[in-house]
Chains A and B, each alone.
Chain A
């Protein structure tokens, strides 16, 4: 039995899944500032009369990191950086960094050792980051060792991401350090509450990349569990009706619509990490956008015309709310069938000019919502189309994303999909979805892990920065051998973390013959592998009625 919990902005949902069937589902209101309270409420609903001892795994997708940042439940951090020569980075991070000597060049050679004597630690939480530390983390480790008596929680850039981008790694380390206390607290409470309910199954946390990790692992990188709502939504779609063609999905919730792109049945991952408060991080996510348009988005009439959202003031008037919302317009146009039709008409009547019918008002409102969504889809297509290409082959072939279908999920999707399909000239489909798709997505999410290997044969070493491995290159080394080594390393990590072994896929690889002078020849191999995000199995039926 699998338990999935999704903490959304409005509701907290939970599902219990057994043998590909949904056994139980529940909903509670998300209490602002008290995420845990909502979780416990929904937990007790779902677990009623269930054999909790047969639960094999619990996965939580929560807003805890997002909330910690927006509500200021953060801890002060000492941010220690070793940028070496290069860009001026004084204002590149959310706080002013302590700049220390120490530099590693692009080949991983230490050209200046870490200035261990310069470090001053005032706070319990510390983030340490050095340029090119993924090519050689020694300087970061040296600093961490120097301060380990003074600091409690230390986050290293090289441990947060194995990829190049000093600024993103540093921001990831900083945000992890600043939310660490709140996050650890949350984890402790979750584990205790589950124990109190006799649940001994391992607990995993969903990440923005759609994968899960055990609590102990995610505590080393809490920033990666930010923005998991959209990821859960994508996984939910995968579980309920996996798209087969290249398509765009849009999931219309109460306050937002989550848009994702799918290629060959898989959601596309963004090429870069997510940004937090405008600061780019290394936290991976799907190529998704959340638009502030949902069923409960408030309708306003201003001098320039109608606006829809992004705020929500409770439910729409058709279902007992006090302010007109997008769902009311959909009800008036008979695009969706729920709530009270007359109440919905009444909601829109206040906007009607003389001689204008409520249908005409509703159409205008719908138009605004559609234009907003369409604009975001166009931006996403553009973003995908301008992603850098580094080979002639890619330029000639092109890497554009060409969707052939648009699929809608969530309460308001039926009301928007036909018009959206017309506008984008795409065929449409609406899978019979669940109201708790996000929780289903969380419950079924597979663990993800990634690691990279870089070998420079002239140096004679290969490195796997995620595991702090720096080894001599064995004989008969090549791309195949490198893949083999990295695969084994990922297997080993799975075993360490207690997650089931899965086939890792190569997500990036580069191979170069190099010449360091006219006669000295070498090779550079770069490889990145990942346990891809996905679901354990699709849902085939349900015992509860939606």
Chain B
């Protein structure tokens, strides 16, 4: 078995718009570096090409309005497909680990999709996580997001799922897009404590990051006992990134990756396309392949500063505060569930920065003693490329009991009859089939 399966897909013909950070040459210099290093010839690495994901793969994680097919391009099917290929390589035992070094990225895409947010239309990790469950029956999955931005899309998809641990460290939302990702966002009652946000102060570097990992993240990952660990390997914590203000180096990223020991890594953001990506990606690939990465250094380190002394203080606060939250998760969960009864609702205002879409959402979880239950979502969006649109959505969780299924369907039919929404949709997470009533 080879050490690492590598799906490298730079999408040289895909961009969001001219001049956008998500443009054709984002991985050009990375490609040059990897080819020049001879990475693709290494006997311990097996290269894979991406395949096109199917619509049902997307629909296990997403409900597109009016439908997901109208919102994506073949590029999205390819980057999602690249993640599925990486998952297959690991699950079929062809390689020990896999890295989907693909674009377009996905961690800002939420469950309901009306358009593009934060460079993302579909959430490629979430699609992969649901695929791991449907295709391979994997139960417990940990996703650790090392992008500098809070992965609000991933949080949204995993928020109610006690079997998915989502850990995101990021530059504090008060200083960076998307402005969320605070400690208090820890999951809905049934999944309290499996959404871990770790907002860091700007200028945090390798030192602070590893302090956080060693003193907190490592323990949480360990205690969650995941069957599979996924790394959302964003690289914009790098000191040269133009969109953020952190001080992490290629060495910092590579050694963190080694500690995380992820089964599958997926590229997310990172927009220092010349000064960071070639080196961070080389470092991560070598670390995942079990090779020596100690010589991977940026030739230009003039932008690297020492982290502010308050950075470690923030880290220590997080270690205490989130450590307690994690330790008390079972008691808190019980308390919250008791308080909310059979249903839990949350209201969300979502802004799609790429397209200026405003969405209002009410998401209600219906708990059941016999099964995972179901969810109902009312979504209302203005300024989409289809104008204003709204939908009533029922989400059937895996292994839903016949009784819940019946109740859920009745709700959908009622909504249809009462013309409560333009679109009435029923999503079956297990199969990825969405029925429009």
Q: Which residue of B lies closest to A510 (CB)?
A: B12
Q: Which residues of B contact A155 (CB under 8 A)?
A: none
A279 to B: closest C-beta gap in Å: 9
Smallest beta-carbon distance A397→chain B, Å: 10
Instruction: Tell me, in angstroms, the Cα distance from A510 to B13 when the chains sit together.
Output: 10
- Number of A positions contacting B (CB below 8 A): 41
Asked if A87 meets B32 with Cβ closer than 8 Å, knowing A111-B299, A167-B41, A513-B24, the reply is no
Residues of chain B contacted by A111 (CB below 8 angstroms): 299-300
Which of B184-192, B286-294, B316-324 sits within the interface? B286-294
CA gap between A213 and B49 in the complex, in Å: 36
Q: Distance in Å from the Cβ of B174 to the closest Cβ of chain A? A: 24
Contact B32 A164 (CB under 8 A): yes
- In the complex the two chains form, what is the Cα distance from A112 to B298 in whole Å? 12
**Which chain B positions have C-beta within 8 A of A389?**
9, 49-50
A363 to B36, CA, bound (A): 49
Specify which of B9, B19, B36, B39 lies most central, judged by the most chain A CB atoms within 10 Å of its CB.
Answer: B36
A415 within 8 A of B: no
Contacts of A396 in B (CB 8 A): 52, 74
User: Are the C-beta atoms of B292 and A166 separated by less than 8 Å?
Assistant: no
Q: Is B282 an interface residue (CB 8 A)?
A: yes
Docked complex Cα distance between A85 and B297 (Å)? 5
- Collect the chain A residues with CB atoms within 8 Å of residue B279's CB: 85
Grouping DSSP codes into helix (H, G, I), strand (E, B) and loop, the A interface class, with mixed when no group exceeds half, is: loop
Known A-B contacts A389-B9, A392-B75; the reply to A167 vs B291 at CB < 8 A is: no
A523, chain B: closest CB distance, angstroms: 10
Asked if A122 is at the interface of the complex by the 8 Å CB criterion, the answer is: no
CB-CB under 8 A from B286, the residues of chain A are 87
Q: Is A391 located at the chain interface by the 8 A CB criterion?
A: yes
B10 at the interface (CB under 8 A from A): yes
Report the separation of the CA atoms of residues A142 and B296 in the bound assembly, to the nearest whole angstrom: 25
Q: A392-B78, A524-B28 are in contact. Are A164 and B23 (CB under 8 A)?
A: no
Q: Are B48 and A386 in contact (CB under 8 A)?
A: yes
A105 CB–B CB distance under 8 Å? yes
CB within 8 A of B78: which of A165, A395, A512?
A: A395
Is B73 positioned at the interface, with any CB of A under 8 Å from its CB? Answer: yes
Q: Known contacts A166-B36, A390-B10, A514-B25: does B291 contact A88 (CB below 8 Å)?
A: yes
Q: Does B150 contact A (CB under 8 A)?
A: no
Kindly state the separation between the CA atoms of A512 and B13 in the bound complex, as whole angstroms. 9
Chain A residues contacting B75 (CB-CB under 8 Å) are 392
The 0/1 profile, CB within 8 Å of B marked 1, for residues 511-524 of chain A is 01111111000001
Min CB–CB distance B35 → chain A (angstroms): 4
B369 proximal to A (CB < 8 A): no
Given contacts A390-B31, A396-B52, A524-B28, contact A167 B38 (CB under 8 A): yes
Shortest CB–CB separation between residue B201 and chain A, in angstroms?
26
Question: Does A392 lie within 8 Å of B13, measured CB to CB?
Answer: yes
Check if A87 sits within 8 Å of B39, measured CB to CB: yes
By a CB distance below 8 angstroms, the chain B residues around A112 are 299
Nearest-CB residue, chain B, relative to A110: B299
Q: Is A106 an interface residue (CB 8 A)?
A: yes
Of residues 49 through 75 on chain B, the ones whose CB sits less than 8 Å from some CB of chain A are 49-52, 73-75
List the A residue with the shortest CB-CB distance to B48: A386
B38 touching A166, Cβ below 8 Å = yes
Q: Which of B281-338 contact A (CB under 8 A)?
A: 282, 286, 291-292, 294-300
- A280–B35 Cα gap in the complex (Å)? 13
Q: How far is the CB of A543 from chain B (nearest CB, A)?
A: 48
B8 within 8 A of A: yes
Chain A residue contacts of B354, Cβ below 8 A: none
Residue in chain A with minimal CB distance to B42: A87
Contact A392 B73 (CB under 8 A): yes
- Asked if A86 meets B25 with Cβ closer than 8 Å, knowing A164-B35, A390-B12, A396-B74, the reply is no
- With both beta carbons as reference points, the residue of chain B lying nearest to A389 in the complex is identified as B49
Q: Are B19 and A515 in contact (CB under 8 A)?
A: yes
Q: Which of A491-546 contact B (CB under 8 A)?
A: 510, 512-518, 524
Docked-complex contact B50 and A395, CB < 8 angstroms = yes
Binary per-residue interface labels of chain A (407-419) against chain B in the complex, 1 for a CB within 8 Å, 0 otherwise? 0000000000000
Smallest beta-carbon distance B160→chain A, Å: 33
A168 adjacent to chain B (CB < 8 Å): yes
Residue numbers in B under 8 Å from A517 (CB-CB): 242
Docked pose: A23 CA to B19 CA in angstroms:
65
The 8 A CB mask of A373-390 against B (1 = contact, 0 = none) is 000000000000011111
Interface centre among A395, A396, A516, A517 (most CB of B within 10 A): A395
- Cα distance A131–B74 when bound, in Å? 35
Question: Are the CB atoms of B25 and A386 closer together than 8 Å?
Answer: no
Docked Cα-Cα span, A106 to B300, in Å, equals 12
Give the CA-CA distance A516 to B14 in the complex, in Å: 18
Q: Mark A119-140, 1 if CB is under 8 A from B, else 0.
A: 0000000000001100000000
26 residue pairs of the A-B complex, CB under 8 angstroms, read A83-B295, A84-B299, A85-B297, A86-B295, A87-B286, A87-B292, A88-B294, A105-B300, A106-B32, A106-B36, A107-B274, A111-B299, A165-B38, A166-B38, A167-B38, A168-B38, A280-B38, A280-B41, A386-B47, A386-B49, A391-B13, A392-B13, A395-B49, A396-B52, A510-B12, A516-B274
